[in-house]
Structure 1
Amino acid sequence: MTPDEIERLFSSTPPSPTNPSRGDAGEEEDVVLSEGEKLRRTENLSQVLATVRQLWDAGSTDLDAVAENIGNAARDGSWRIPLGESQLLGFFIGIVGTEGLRRPLTVQALRGVHGAESAADQNRQRVIAADCLPKMVKLLRDDSLLPLVIPVLFNICVDYEPAHVAAYKAGLNPELVNLTLGSRLAKVEGLLSIICKLLGLVANQEPESDLAHLDTPFILLSLAARQESPLDLDDFLGQSTVALAYLAHSQFQDSFLKMPDAVPLFLRVLERASREFDDAASTDEELGAQLARARSVFVQVLADLSAHPAFAATCGNSLDGLEVQTLRGWLASPNAQLRSAACLALGNVARSDAVCVSLLAGTGDQGVQGPLVGILSDPASAADAQLLHAALGFLKNLAIPARNKEVLGDARLLDAPELLPRIWGLTAQPQVQFAAISLARLLLVNCPANVRRMIRARPRASPVADAGDRQSQTPLQALLSESATTDQEPTKTEAARAALTVCRVVHTHTASVFQAPDEAEESNSSPGSDSRLAEFYDNHAGQLEGALVFLGSQKKFPLLRSELWFVLALMARSTAARAAVVAGLLRNREVLEALTEAVTGRKDVLEGQEGQDSTASQPASDGGTSGGSGVSELGLEPQQVDPKQAASVAKVDRENGLVLIGELVEKAPDQPGSIPLDTLRRILKEGGTLVLANRDEA
């Protein structure tokens, strides 16, 4: 078949009607040919292939014109499958990138490949199987071929996962990135959109040596940052979202954070994404959705970067630096996206006591507590779970150092109705509710001033109440009321831990909790403290008992039960606590079983004991505190469990349990049916014997 006959072959075949193309403009999508027509075309193309091979072997320039005709035909979707099945496409795939190939033939070969593989996965697979991609990628080094090579590579890769892997292994990433550097950038300005899409298609491959330019995200963000306002949203998203995809890999994060000014660059682009484009997004629904996704990913990537040791070290060592000052400025921004980003990033920076204390230094707007209080108190934040959760997470880190607890308490986090007490009631946002209760617990640990705030009455949300009903409630009552209505076990656990923390501080720092700041110092045993302790239990007994029963009956966290036995041992020494809470706790079967096992090491002690216990206080029998096994003879005191010394936990639990039981047996409330005294005496005797035996062995 002569070149003229080949030209007539393609020109005499009318194009087939097709659907809109997914390839370049002017190309038609693949069509379904009848088997007869497909066979006819394939046979004709087989004859064309014979001519093409002859021209190739002869080195004839006529091959250029034939290749051009084939390239034109490949734009017609009805020819694509026959081109592949006739092996004519395979011939041109094979010569692409051949050393010394004439430029016109290179161009026409690329056109043929470009057209034939559009929307035809069979032909794309032929390109991959022929190992043609490495040669095509090398053609990116020829600036004159870029307008053709880049679209060809895109058509091979788009919507075809096997091509993503092959292109990545062919070294596509570093070749494309090199196009954006130095003087070459000016030559691909009009192709940057396709370049970014191609980089995005290979972004999910695991980075390997020599196959990925580790500065890819930095370079792409630099391109996004260089745009002048008004920004082109499509270009901006193309560059920034691909950069974010690469920053999902730890190798790229490591490299990125080593670059000078990398963090300020990231923050600058994030701020542009958050502040600009709203008008453009409102007029294009698809672009608006892409922008929303990009903003969300920006915040998540910042959270990942700020958790990196290099980020925390840089920012944590220089709180006056540009990065931290930018983030602190965002805390007070009206833009919720920027506030969330700042909370997440600064929360990760706040990894040491020194940094946390410094961030709260000063008062009002001088410390970060001012803007954070503003976030929590903003009614609009109730609808923004991401922002609330980020702010609470930041505050939880800040609340860890002992010096910061009272500072945050002074900001009224615990007792202002519009702050934590409001968020405790957000049952529709369980993660936010949990974080708010967890923050409250942290603020209470070893902080008498905050415990005082937590148990001090404040006005109820509604002033309407029945006659005789108190018109006030404490924050602790509010917290326990809200947590009691949730079915989220972690939230219930955290609320119970907060209640236990209050009880512990109340009994270890009684005077500091109950005296007003302007009152004289008084001892823990003063009459004033005793009366206020009794009032505290009068107001909270029912809710405290329910919360502590939950801790005592759960089996998931043994150390929490250990903490419970310690605090109950402290409480049992107080008449008010013993009568109001402790005795009631031991009426609960599960709690009593857990305590029995802690003291005796056995689970069967209570079997068959129902209905056999005394119902009132009475002198100890032979099985009571006599015989050398009473607490007074043992000289036991409540002691804190050290979770780092697992071997001693059981010993400390037993001794705390004995202190608790000994107090109840010796000073049982004079209430019929209050506690199972006979059972407690048996437990006391058996546990005391074990303590003495252990001492003898030691």
Structure 2
Amino acid sequence: MEAARLKLACIIATLIATQSIAAGSAAASQAIQLLYWTVQRMSQTSTLRSLDAPKLLTQILSFLECSECCEDPENFVMLGDTALLFFDISEDYIAHNLFDRCLDVYRSAVESICRLKEEERLEEADSVASLSIRLLHGLHRASTATHFTASNGFSGPVIRRLLDWLDRDERPLQMCACIMLGNYAVENRICEEMVQAGVDAKVVRILRETRDSDETLHAAAGFLGHLAIPAKNKEKLGYGGVIEEACFLLSSPVPRLQRDGAYLLRLLLNRCLPNVHHVVDKRPAGSLESTSEAAPLLDDLLLASSTIGPASIDASRAIFHILRGLHLLGADHERLATLYKSQIMISPLLNLLRQKEDPAVRSEGLLGLALMAQTQPGALCALEALKDNANLNLIMLREDNPSHHGGDKANTLFLIHGLLQNVVDMDSDLRGKLTDMFQDLSRERSDVL
């Protein structure tokens, strides 16, 4: 409290920033340690808010930017950690006024790591690398503040700086740019503007050239996930290489990257028929013969959907979007018969149907089965699965089931009608069960209408 009253931190920061204490001297090191200790204690007692935090942070950043500070890793790390103590109370101010300068500090940290490694000062390099990660987390928090998108135009200096970093060879800068730009792209208008400007091509290049950094791959995939949300962007991204890169991520041994790939494919295939064509009909350049009866780009997707891993649900939903797209293109599409005869489509749909905690996802599984049942090969495939009572129970809806989606009864009627119409040689007991279900649901719908 006494330190706050005397504004000790402000006095020390002013002396350091104006280099009234010689940079690199023992006195400077002691002053920086005292500044960190004072600010840290004040942050623990909430007295830090009583200071002019933006002014104090600006002074600290000024010294972090000077060459003398960058050449002293110990002081650089301690001052960097001091600056980070202000992020929680000054996020909006940082996003509005100081973000560009914080990026400078992050870049200085990255450059310092490279220099220290070249000089074989590995322990100091590790210390600065640890700071760079903390700085990245701080920048991430600031870039999610309301003021960040509102204060930075697409042609402004901060966004131009980040777009330039996408073209740099340093992985940490690319990763930082992908994270910050992903946080910036929170509106469809911004996402569409980015794709029109060709930003997606830069990110696809990062994915293609980065096979040794899971963190960078994850950040790039996350950014593309934002760009893939607007309907206007889907086809351009699909034919711009994002589908192939998503399939690469899906085949990764890293669960987080598998989930990224499945999520991207789900977004790109949702209500985008050109992308459905692309996945089903195109063979990637230089690929070997497919190991399944599906198209080559479907192989990893089908495998992921049949596992219990983190990518399972998104991969299964992507399969549903493919199935729906093929039916919209025409139920007699030759690919449908191949997919149904091989039984590979049924597992993803049953996977969705089991998601009782997510009615929308469950409804996709039910509609997928209903679409299958509208063709003879598909009906036979669905029937094989429904011979298992556990699977048959999944499509039985009751009034006391709060999780069912509004359209599930209609989809169930659609499914049962297809089965009864398209399967001639059906077990009499099963036909009786399905007929009874159809009649009960029809009566319920009539009562509602």
Number of equivalences: 442
The yes-or-no answer on 1:542 pairing with 2:354 is no
Q: Secondary structure at the match of 2:95?
A: helix
Deviations 1:276-316 (A, max 9, x none): 3423345333312211101111222221111111111122x
Cα distance in 1, alignment partners of residues 258 and 35 from structure 2:
41
Question: Could you tell me how far 1:591 is from its partner in structure 2?
Answer: 3.0
Q: Secondary structure at the match of 1:458?
A: coil
Question: Could you tell me how far 1:653 is from its partner in structure 2?
Answer: 1.6
Q: Secondary structure at the match of 2:154?
A: coil
Cα distance in 2, alignment partners of residues 499 and 285 from structure 1:
48
Question: Could you tell me how far 1:447 is from its partner in structure 2?
Answer: 0.4
Question: Could you tell me how far 1:388 is from its partner in structure 2?
Answer: 0.7
Q: Which residue of 2 aligns with 1:443?
A: 268
Question: Could you tell me how far 1:681 is from its partner in structure 2?
Answer: 1.0
The yes-or-no answer on 1:270 pairing with 2:112 is no
Question: Could you tell me how far 1:347 is from its partner in structure 2?
Answer: 0.3
Percentage of pairs with the same residue: 24
User: Contact (CA 8 Å) 1:399, 1:442: kept in 2 or not?
Assistant: yes
Q: Which residue of 1 aligns with 2:374?
A: 573
Q: Secondary structure at the match of 2:34?
A: helix
Cα distance in 2, alignment partners of residues 258 and 556 from structure 1:
40
Cα distance in 1, alignment partners of residues 416 and 293 from structure 2:
37
Q: Which runs of 5+ in 1 are unaligned?
A: 1-132, 138-167, 511-523, 604-645
The yes-or-no answer on 1:432 pairing with 2:257 is yes
**Larger relative contact order (CA 8 Å, sep ≥ 6):** 2
Q: Secondary structure at the match of 2:169?
A: coil
Q: Which residue of 2 aligns with 1:420?
A: 246
The 3 A distance-change label for structure 1 pair 569 and 487 is closer
Q: Secondary structure at the match of 2:356?
A: coil
Q: Which residue of 1 aligns with 2:414?
A: 659
Superposition pairs for residues 3-82 of structure 1, below 5 Å?
none
Q: Secondary structure at the match of 1:681?
A: helix
Which of 488, 492, 496 aligns to 2:312? It is: 492
The yes-or-no answer on 1:199 pairing with 2:35 is yes
Q: Secondary structure at the match of 2:407?
A: helix
The 3 A distance-change label for structure 1 pair 491 and 245 is same
The 3 A distance-change label for structure 1 pair 287 and 449 is same
Cα distance in 1, alignment partners of residues 297 and 57 from structure 2:
48
The yes-or-no answer on 1:476 pairing with 2:298 is yes
Q: Secondary structure at the match of 1:283?
A: coil
User: Contact (CA 8 Å) 1:319, 1:325: kept in 2 or not?
Assistant: yes
Cα distance in 1, alignment partners of residues 428 and 358 from structure 2:
28
Cα distance in 2, alignment partners of residues 438 and 470 from structure 1:
22
Q: Which residue of 2 aligns with 1:161?
A: none
The 3 A distance-change label for structure 1 pair 220 and 319 is same
The 3 A distance-change label for structure 1 pair 690 and 483 is closer
Which of 170, 177, 198 aligns to 1:335? It is: 170
Which of 433, 443, 455 aligns to 2:280? It is: 455
The 3 A distance-change label for structure 1 pair 602 and 243 is closer
Q: Which residue of 2 aligns with 1:44?
A: none
Cα distance in 1, alignment partners of residues 168 and 388 from structure 2:
51
State the TM-score, normalizing by the size of structure 2.
0.88
Q: Which residue of 2 aligns with 1:553?
A: 354
Superposition pairs for residues 492-641 of structure 1, below 5 Å?
492-508=312-328, 510=329, 524=330, 530-538=332-340, 541-580=342-381, 582-596=382-396, 598=397, 600-601=398-399
Cα distance in 2, alignment partners of residues 255 and 670 from structure 1:
70
Question: Could you tell me how far 1:590 is from its partner in structure 2?
Answer: 2.9
Question: Could you tell me how far 1:358 is from its partner in structure 2?
Answer: 0.8
Question: Could you tell me how far 1:376 is from its partner in structure 2?
Answer: 1.4
Deviations 1:393-432 (A, max 9, x none): 0000000001100111111222x4xx222221112x1111
Q: Secondary structure at the match of 2:44?
A: coil
Question: Could you tell me how far 1:210 is from its partner in structure 2?
Answer: 5.9
Stretch moving more, 529-538 or 340-349: 529-538
Cα distance in 2, alignment partners of residues 222 and 311 from structure 1:
21
Question: Could you tell me how far 1:435 is from its partner in structure 2?
Answer: 1.0
Q: Secondary structure at the match of 2:332?
A: helix
The 3 A distance-change label for structure 1 pair 375 and 483 is farther
Q: Secondary structure at the match of 2:224?
A: helix
User: Contact (CA 8 Å) 2:61, 2:101: kept in 1 or not?
Assistant: yes
Tell me which amino acid in the other structure corresponds to 1:685: Q
The yes-or-no answer on 1:257 pairing with 2:257 is no
User: Contact (CA 8 Å) 1:483, 1:492: kept in 2 or not?
Assistant: yes
Question: Could you tell me how far 1:685 is from its partner in structure 2?
Answer: 1.6
Cα distance in 2, alignment partners of residues 550 and 586 from structure 1:
13
User: Contact (CA 8 Å) 1:458, 1:475: kept in 2 or not?
Assistant: yes
The yes-or-no answer on 1:287 pairing with 2:124 is yes
User: Contact (CA 8 Å) 1:299, 1:340: kept in 2 or not?
Assistant: no
User: Contact (CA 8 Å) 1:389, 1:431: kept in 2 or not?
Assistant: yes
Cα distance in 2, alignment partners of residues 321 and 674 from structure 1:
70
Higher helix content, 1 or 2: 2
Cα distance in 2, alignment partners of residues 480 and 470 from structure 1:
10
User: Contact (CA 8 Å) 1:241, 1:294: kept in 2 or not?
Assistant: yes
User: Contact (CA 8 Å) 1:399, 1:439: kept in 2 or not?
Assistant: yes
The 3 A distance-change label for structure 1 pair 409 and 487 is same
Cα distance in 2, alignment partners of residues 180 and 291 from structure 1:
20
The 3 A distance-change label for structure 1 pair 678 and 280 is same
Q: Which residue of 2 aligns with 1:676?
A: 430
Q: Which residue of 1 aligns with 2:203?
A: 372
The 3 A distance-change label for structure 1 pair 255 and 680 is same
Cα-Cα RMSD: 3.0
Cα distance in 2, alignment partners of residues 674 and 333 from structure 1:
67
User: Contact (CA 8 Å) 1:459, 1:471: kept in 2 or not?
Assistant: no
Tell me which amino acid in the other structure corresponds to 1:595: I
User: Contact (CA 8 Å) 2:217, 2:257: kept in 1 or not?
Assistant: yes
Cα distance in 2, alignment partners of residues 594 and 209 from structure 1:
57
